[in-house]
């Protein structure tokens, strides 16, 4: 009897979550994820490594490729909810050692900002805030259950591990972008 009650409760909860996701999808409302991590490197090292966009597949498992087309344009190829997708993004703001902001200009609708805050001389807090619009029912369900949030958290954890294991950045782009 208890098993049936739990099953009915789980199905009802899933229905509520799915209903909310569908309402958000129809209204075109973006979902937002915010995640932070502290890395044991100076802010300039963390920032410099993050400007190496073509190396993102090393710590982002869903990203197959990023091509930097210009100083402010990127082409992404990634797996989203089991489907391969491509899109172009533009960097809308870039302030060395402080922040990088972007928005998609084709394909998958997304935008965000990554900030770099010194905690001490050799420790940095990286905060990712990203908004996106799930496109399919599978993406909506995954979003409702926090899949994107978990992926963002895991990507930051892998970035931390990669950076701390190296101890130094593999390159840097120190230009400023302001739109």
- The tokens for 6 are 């739990």
pTM of the model: 0.83
Report pLDDT digits (tens) over 127-171.
Answer: 999 999 998 888 888 888 899 999 999 999 999 999 999 989 998
pLDDT band at 173 (very low <50, low <70, confident <90, very high): confident
Which domains, ranges and CATH numbers included, belong to the chain? 30-178 (3.30.530.20)
What is the pLDDT averaged over residues 8-26? 52
Report pLDDT digits (tens) over 60-88.
Answer: 999 999 999 999 999 999 998 889 999 99
Q: Using CA atoms, how far apart are residues 26 and 17, in angstroms rounded to an integer?
A: 14
Nearest to 96 by CA among 166, 49, 130: 49
Q: Using CA atoms, how far apart are residues 121 and 41, in angstroms rounded to an integer?
A: 8
**The predicted structure's pLDDT at residue 4:** 64
């Amino acid at each position: 009897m208890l098993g049936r009650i739990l099953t009915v409760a789980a199905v009802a909860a899933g229905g509520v979550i799915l209903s909310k996701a569908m309402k958000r999808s129809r209204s075109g409302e973006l979902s937002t994820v915010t995640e932070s991590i502290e890395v044991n490197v100076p802010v300039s090292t963390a920032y410099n490594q993050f400007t190496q966009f073509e190396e993102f597949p090393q710590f982002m498992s869903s990203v197959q490729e990023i091509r930097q087309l210009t100083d402010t344009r990127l082409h992404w190829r990634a797996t989203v909810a089991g489907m391969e997708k491509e899109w172009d993004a533009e960097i809308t703001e870039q302030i060395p050692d402080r922040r990088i902001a972007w928005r998609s200009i084709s394909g998958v609708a997304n935008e965000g900002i990554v900030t770099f805050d010194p905690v001490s001389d050799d420790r940095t807090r990286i905060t990712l805030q990203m908004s996106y619009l799930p496109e399919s029912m599978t993406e909506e369900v995954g979003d409702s259950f926090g899949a994107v949030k978990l992926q963002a958290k895991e990507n930051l954890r892998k970035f931390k591990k990669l950076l701390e294991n190296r101890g130094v950045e593999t390159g840097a782009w120190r230009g400023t972008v302001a739109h």
